[in-house]
Amino acid sequence: MLKNCYTNNLLEAGCDEAGRGCLAGPVYAAAVILSRDFKNLELNDSKKLTKKQRNNLREIIEKEAISWAVASADNNEIDEINILNASFLAMHRAIEKLEKQPEFLLIDGNRFKVYKEIPHKCIIKGDGKYLSIAAASILAKTHRDEFMEKLHLEFPDYDWKNNKAYPTPKHKAAIAKHGITDFHRKSFRLNEQLKIDFSSREYANIYENKKSLNLIIQVRDF
C-alpha cells in the first residue's frame, strides 16, 4: 500500500493532472484530501490500473475522501500560456474548489507554482508513492476520459473515445486527412506530430492530401 501522509499533523491534499501529452482537449487536474487512516490496497498510479479499476476507485475516492475537486484548463488556455502553466492553473483551480483548505500540498512531478503561500512538496512519480496523489491521478484521468468520450460523439473521425486525444497513429492520420478541430492544441506543433511512419496502404489517401493540408509527412513505400 502507498504512504498515507508526508507530514505529521498537517491537512494534506494530493494533486495530479491528466492530459498533458494530448494533441487536443483540456488538461485536467484533481486535488484530494484523504483521512490519515484511509486504506486501499488497489489504489495506485492511474496509469497502472485498468479502466474498470479506475472507475471503481473513483467511486470510493469521491465517497470517502474528506474533500475532492476536479478542474481543467482548456486548449485555448494551453495555447496561450503553454501546457506546463496550464497544468499548474488546473491544479490551482482544483485546490480552490476544495471544501476544506489544505495546510500542505503534495504535488506529482518536479515543478509547481506556489498556491496562496500554502507549503508544498513535489514528488517525482508521486502517484505511485502517496495515496492522496494516486487518488488525484485517478480522478483527473477518469474525469478527462469522460469528457473526451463525450467529445468523440461530435468528432468521431479522431477516435477520441479510445485514444483520448493522445498522438496515436489513428489520431494523427485523422488530422492529416480532416485537419484540426477547435479543440486541438495549435501550439503543439502538429506538423511535427504528423511525421507518421506508414506501413500499409490503409493511409494512402493521406499522401494525396498532404500538399493541400501543408503537412510534413514521412511516407515509406507502400
Give the amino acid at 32.
V
- The C-alpha cell at 52 is 474498470
Domain assignment of residue 193, given as a range: 156-213
Asked if residue 71 and residue 42 are part of one domain, the reply reads yes
Residue 163, pLDDT > 90, answer yes
User: pTM for the full model?
Assistant: 0.86
Confidence grade of residue 204 (pLDDT, cut at 50, 70, 90): very low
Asked if residue 132 and residue 66 are part of one domain, the reply reads yes
User: Are the beta carbons of 51 and 87 closer than 8 angstroms?
Assistant: no
Q: 193 vs 58, which has greater pLDDT?
A: 58
pLDDT in tens, 32-83: 999 999 999 999 999 999 999 999 999 999 999 999 999 999 999 999 999 9
Asked if residue 161 and residue 134 are part of one domain, the reply reads no
Asked if residue 181 and residue 82 are part of one domain, the reply reads no
Domain membership flag for residue 180: yes
The residues, any chain, with a CB within 8 Å of residue 217's CB and separated by 6 or more, are 176, 194, 195, 196, 206, 207, 210
pLDDT in tens, 94-146: 999 999 999 999 999 999 999 999 999 999 999 999 999 999 999 999 999 99
Cα–Cα distance for residue pair 13/16, rounded to 1 Å = 10
What integer pLDDT is reported at residue 222 of this predicted model? Answer: 21
Asked if residue 126 and residue 109 are part of one domain, the reply reads yes
Residue 149, pLDDT > 60, answer yes
Asked if residue 192 and residue 124 are part of one domain, the reply reads no
Asked if residue 84 and residue 163 are part of one domain, the reply reads no
Residue 203, pLDDT > 60, answer no
Confidence grade of residue 201 (pLDDT, cut at 50, 70, 90): very low
Report the domain count for the chain: 2
Q: What is the CATH number of the domain that holds 139?
A: 3.30.420.10
Residue 11, pLDDT > 50, answer yes
Domain membership flag for residue 4: no
Percent of the chain with pLDDT over 90: 82
Separation of first and last alpha carbons in the chain: 50
The residue among 102, 134, 152 that closes a domain is 152
The residue among 118, 137, 152 that closes a domain is 152
Asked if residue 206 and residue 115 are part of one domain, the reply reads no
What long-range pairs does 159-165 form, CB within 8 A, spacing at least 24?
Answer: 160/24, 160/25, 164/19, 164/22, 164/25, 165/19, 165/22, 165/23, 165/24, 165/25
Rounded to 10°, the helix 51-64/131-152 angle is: 120
